[in-house]
Amino acid sequence: MEEQLPFANGSKSSKLPLFIIGLCCLFLVLWLKLPGVLLASLILVATFSVMRMRTSTPEVTALRTSIRLSAEDITDVHNEWQIFLSSPDGDALADRTLVRPALADPDCGNEDIEKFHFEISNAHRFLGRLEARLQQTLLVSELETLLKVTDERSLDLRETWLNARKAANKLGPHYKRGS
């Protein structure tokens, strides 16, 4: 379940250094009293400043942009699917009823069409979770993993969409639901 990895809640590794820094600051306060409080305050302010800067670097911004672009590719396929299913446009209506009626049938026995229906529903859920995940503070490694997963999903969905369209075209206009 590598694809669910980026959706784990937070990063466990980033909490250990904060814990150690906190213990050191506590030790300074207990050992040096007032000067320890001043030193601990400076250390804590510096630590939190560095943490904030780390989440707004150009690399992080570029990774977030790349993730959103890959998500747009998923959205594009989803929009093409919605146009196929419900557009009143003459070309879409002809495609849906005369050329590829099997593509609109989620219970079609064709493996490529069934796989597409499965992938499109998963992609819809993935996009819903993705934006929430991007709103969190993420490490560069987490963003890289999320980009990898988003790219893979985008490519897989595009491929299954094209394969399902080809399969539905082969089944042709004489396809009957349930056959």
CB 54, CB 99: distance < 8 Å: no
Q: How many separate helices (H) and strands (E) can be counted in the chain?
A: 6, 0
Would you state the structure tokens that stand for residue 38, as one six-digit string? 């001043």
The model's pLDDT over 60-108, given as tens digits with 9 standing for 90+, comes to 889 999 999 999 999 999 999 999 999 999 999 999 888 999 998 888 8
Q: What are the residue boundaries of the structural domains of the chain, listed by start? A: 11-54, 58-174
User: Structure pTM?
Assistant: 0.69
The model's pLDDT over 107-155, given as tens digits with 9 standing for 90+, comes to 888 999 999 999 999 999 999 999 999 988 888 889 999 999 999 999 9
Which amino acid appears at position 29 of this protein?
A: V
